Each structure stands twice: as structure tokens, then as C-alpha cells.
Amino acid sequence: MAVWLAEQVGPAGHVVATDIDTRYLRRLELQNLEVLEHNILEDPLEALGPGSFDLVCSRLTLFHLVGRQEQALRQMTKCLRPGGWLIDEDADWGTAAPVDPAHPLYDGYRRAWQDGDWWTSRGYDKAFGQKLPALFERCGLQDIRHEAATEVVRGGSPWARWWAVTLEVINELGGGDESDGRELEVMTTALADPTVWVLRELLHACRGRRVGDTA
């Protein structure tokens, strides 16, 4: 996203990319990209320049911040100039499962996944994406527009491979035990099988504009 935005604004524009861990961002060498180590929930906004951005965006980040998403969005809104836009893309992860009940791997995956509660039990908000327009409105944003999209893909596809690795990382970070490992194996086996059709996450995109001062 940092590279894409830097390409869009061109040499006359300026992009600031932030993260709590900037080791990957600092590999980027773009003249119009500034990289800052910053925690939107804990660090002062002065380092970013409150009220100065035409656009603030976040992608697949806020679902990690269970119970603190609105606080993060309020801080991001404060960085916008009047008339500036906030954009967030986040997902509903509970949908990510096989779609054909007749497939022999369907039931095992569904039992392990529990409509996304496997994800919730590890500390993530499985349905955060659909909450965005209400949160944007509470942050004082206007002209809100919200869209969502998904697709059905084969096991073994690029998305299925990415999803399998993601589940492995989440399981490791969550301190998964032997039982969790067995559930993970059931799911990754299905995700590697090209005869399994899988519904992806429902990806939500929401935008809203800051008009004047916001609370």
C-alpha cells in the first residue's frame, strides 16, 4: 500500500507510512515516502501532523485491535485536514470456509473453523469489517460509503496458500496446543486440495470525509 500510494501521488506528493515495526517498510527507497515508527493508540499525533493529511488509510489492521478500533479510528480522523478522507479495508473472516457440503473435507474444516470462532478464540475480531460505517459515523465523518466483496476460489490457489500460512502464524502466535495443531492440519489439508472450493473472507471497504472539527 505504501508503494502504491507513493506511485499515485507522484514526485510532487508525499506519503507517510507508519507501523509499530518498520523493518520491512525501511527497505523501501522512494523519494516521496517517509517511514515512521508510530503506535496510533499510544504515541502522540504530533509526530504525524494532525489536521494535515488529504487521505489516511488502513488495510487489514484494525481487526487485531479488539475493543480499541474506535479509538484508533478517532486518532486517524484527527490526522485529516477538513475535507480529507479516511479509508479502511477490513474483513469478516468467518466466511472463509469450503462451500460444498458433499466434499469429504467439508465437515472437518467446518468443525475446526467453527464459523470463525477458531479465529475469535485467538484474540481477533472475526466480523470487524461490517462495523466500519457505524464507527466512521461515530467519529464524525460524513459522506460515508461502504462496499464489500468476496469470491470463491480453489484450494491450492494463491489465496488458499496465503490463508493456510496465515492460519499457521495465528495458531503459533496464539500458543496453539496439540489439539489446535490437529485442527490446523485439517484446514490446511483442505486448503491445499484443488478439488475443494473455498469462499474467501468478505472484504469490506469504507470511506468517509472529515468536515470541519470532529469530536
Residue 7 within a domain = no
What b/e readout covers 16-49, taking b as 16+ CB neighbours within 10 angstroms? bbbbeeeeebeeeeeeebebeebebeeeeeeebe
Return the C-alpha cell found at 146: 461502504
How far are the Cα atoms of 47, 60, 67 from residue 63, in angstroms, in the given order?
24, 7, 9
Closest CA to 98 of 202, 198, 191: 198
Residue 8 within a domain = no
**215 residues of the chain, pLDDT tens digit each:** 999 999 999 999 999 999 999 999 999 989 999 999 999 999 999 999 999 999 999 999 898 888 899 999 999 999 999 999 999 999 999 999 999 999 999 999 999 999 999 888 888 888 999 999 999 999 999 999 999 999 999 999 999 999 999 999 888 876 667 677 889 999 999 999 999 999 999 999 999 999 976 44
Domain encompassing residue 120:
38-209
DSSP letter string, 17-41 = EEES--TTGGG---TTEEEEE--TT
Contact (CB, 8 A) for 187 and 147: no
Residue 4 within a domain = no
How far is the C-alpha of 126 from the C-alpha of 119, rounded, in Å? 6
Residue 165 within a domain = yes
Residue 171 within a domain = yes
How far are the Cα atoms of 8, 71, 92, 153, 203 from residue 161, in angstroms, in the given order?
29, 33, 19, 11, 18
Residue 143 within a domain = yes
Residue 215 within a domain = no
For the chain, what is the domain count?
1
Q: What pLDDT was estimated at residue 121?
A: 84
How far is the C-alpha of 82 from the C-alpha of 14, rounded, in Å? 18
Q: Which CATH number goes with the domain that contains 109?
A: 3.40.50.150
How many other C-beta atoms are found inside a 10 Å radius of the C-beta of residue 182?
Answer: 12
Residue 145 within a domain = yes
End-to-end CA distance of the chain: 28
Instruction: Write down the pTM of the prediction.
Output: 0.88
